[in-house]
């Protein structure tokens, strides 16, 4: 994609084309909402354009309903069931819509460090030493955290509350049966719990697959089972506002991330969807799958944010706050992960909150990797992003620590036309 800014009449044409020819929506299932790696973004974009946009009535056929825009747009304008159209170096235009599901009005984030202290969790070349994490009244000790990534994630979650970046979520709301709106808040303290879980064995996770039958050995089932254990461990009663982050060490991370091409995902547990991958799991859990970002590499280059914003040692852990922040904010505004239950437009139940009606991109997807200089292979030119409006940038946490983040889609930005905001690189036009 051309990285130059589009303005004037060209912007109008570009937005019109994007609205009419956008890529596909996540279907009415329990499929998790993925944050693509940089290389996967490029590959997906080419595939969608070649197979659908330029040949919308070809061999790629939409599946049977339900879909997020089912019954609303005829072919070739509907992309029902195709992969989400990826944002690469520029934001994907078009404001998000509300689909009727709940949002996290008072967000609470729980971090589970699953298996970080188990033997073999980190490469033998990295000597382990314990890491004491204290965030306010919360504390935990990681048996091994050689890169400091575990502490970095806890620091980020503890400090994101009250920032302008997290404040972008407060424009979105849920409605009651009477039509009353309840808006998302931005409390200062959103970190609700930390658990270093070295009791429940993680060593089988790398042997799982997302294509395995539901149950033990299916990656999604196993991750959701750990999230359910966390619900019990923390004594969580407010599932509607809770996000369980399952953070994994490098040697025991989700094996599908690199092969499929994603950095992380978030999902929502409902029974009888996707063949029953969440059957037997507590329903209504919003969880984030957080593989070890530094372990997701292509041809020796990290594709999940290392040095994406900051150069050298200061940017080694950029990807952890960028990727985790992406998933946290998508969970806040769309905890139901676009799930739809039922068939036929009159019998569907929408669990999704806010996402784009044309391509199903959420507030993080629409702004993923904006500003990242891409070479022909799709790998980033290190170490910094191009300072275009909406690009990734640094923010100050509420305790003064600097964190790299991506921007988030704001329906109010750019004089109400919508744009990526919150990362200190906002559009110069006022909100409206």
Helix H segments across 84-172?
149-160, 164-167
DSSP state of 283: T
pLDDT at 418: 94
Q: What is the predicted pLDDT for the residue at 83?
A: 47
- pLDDT at residue number 431: 79
Structure tokens at 168: 């972008």
Quote the Cα angle for 384-109-188, to 5°: 80
Question: What's the whole-model pTM score?
Answer: 0.83
Structure confidence at residue 29 (pLDDT): 47
In this predicted structure, what is the pLDDT of residue 349? 87
Beta strands in 332-412 (DSSP E): 340-341, 349-350, 354-355, 393-396, 402-405, 408-410
- What is the C-alpha separation between 372 and 182, in angstroms, rounded? 35
DSSP per position, 212-268: SPSSTTBHHHHHHHHHHHHHHHHT---GGGEEEEEE--GGGS-THIIIIIEEEEEEE
The per-residue pLDDT string of the chain (432 residues; one tens digit each, 9 = 90 and over) reads 221 122 222 222 222 223 322 333 333 445 676 777 756 655 554 454 454 443 333 333 333 333 433 333 334 434 444 445 444 467 778 899 999 999 999 999 999 999 999 999 999 999 998 999 999 999 999 999 999 999 999 999 999 999 999 999 999 999 999 999 999 999 999 999 999 999 999 999 999 999 999 999 999 999 999 999 999 999 999 999 999 999 999 999 999 998 888 999 999 999 988 889 999 999 999 999 999 999 999 888 888 999 999 999 999 999 999 999 999 999 999 999 999 887 666 568 889 999 998 878 999 999 998 887 654 444 444 445 677 889 999 999 999 999 999 999 999 998 899 999 999 999 887 776
Find the domain containing 53 and state its range: 1-432
Amino acid 252: pLDDT: 98
pLDDT recorded at residue 137: 98
Number of structural domains, the chain? 1
30-34-38 Cα angle (round to 5): 165
Give the pair of three-digit tokens for residue 45: 């974009």
């Amino acid at each position: 994609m051309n990285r130059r800014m589009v303005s004037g009449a060209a912007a109008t044409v570009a937005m019109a084309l994007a609205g009419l020819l956008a890529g596909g929506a996540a279907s009415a299932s329990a499929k998790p909402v993925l944050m693509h790696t940089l290389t996967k973004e490029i590959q997906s974009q080419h595939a969608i354009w070649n197979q659908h946009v330029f040949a919308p009535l070809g061999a790629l056929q939409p599946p049977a309903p339900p879909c997020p825009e089912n019954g609303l747009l005829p072919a070739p304008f509907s992309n029902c069931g195709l992969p989400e159209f990826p944002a690469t170096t520029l934001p994907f235009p078009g404001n998000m819509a509300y689909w009727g599901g709940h949002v996290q009005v008072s967000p609470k984030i729980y971090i589970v460090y699953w298996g970080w202290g188990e033997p073999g969790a980190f490469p033998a070349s990295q000597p382990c030493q314990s890491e004491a994490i204290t965030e306010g009244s919360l504390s935990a000790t990681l048996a091994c955290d050689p890169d400091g990534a575990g502490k970095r994630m806890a620091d980020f979650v503890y400090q994101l509350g009250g920032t302008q970046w997290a404040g972008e979520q407060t424009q979105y709301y849920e409605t009651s049966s009477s039509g009353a709106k309840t808006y998302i808040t931005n409390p200062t303290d959103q970190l609700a719990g930390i658990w270093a879980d070295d009791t429940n064995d993680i060593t089988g996770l790398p042997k799982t697959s997302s294509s395995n039958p539901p149950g033990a050995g299916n990656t999604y089932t196993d991750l959701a089972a750990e999230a359910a254990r966390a619900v019990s461990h923390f004594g969580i009663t407010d599932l509607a506002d809770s996000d369980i982050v399952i953070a994994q060490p490098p040697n025991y991370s989700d094996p599908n991330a690199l092969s499929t091409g994603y950095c992380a995902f978030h999902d929502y547990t409902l029974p009888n969807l996707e063949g029953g991958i969440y059957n037997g799991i507590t329903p209504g859990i919003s969880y984030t799958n957080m593989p070890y970002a530094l372990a997701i590499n292509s041809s020796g280059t990290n594709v999940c944010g290392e040095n994406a914003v900051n150069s050298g040692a200061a940017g080694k852990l950029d990807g952890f706050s960028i990727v985790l922040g992406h998933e946290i904010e998508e969970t806040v505004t769309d905890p139901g992960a676009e799930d739809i239950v039922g068939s036929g437009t009159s019998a569907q139940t929408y669990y999704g909150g806010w996402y784009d009606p044309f391509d199903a991109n959420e507030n993080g997807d629409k702004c993923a990797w904006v500003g990242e200089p891409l070479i022909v292979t799709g790998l980033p030119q290190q170490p910094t992003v191009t300072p275009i409006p909406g690009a990734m940038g640094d923010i100050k946490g509420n305790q003064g620590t600097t964190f790299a983040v991506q921007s988030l889609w704001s329906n109010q930005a750019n004089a109400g036309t919508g744009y990526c905001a919150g990362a200190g690189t906002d559009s110069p036009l006022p909100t409206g």
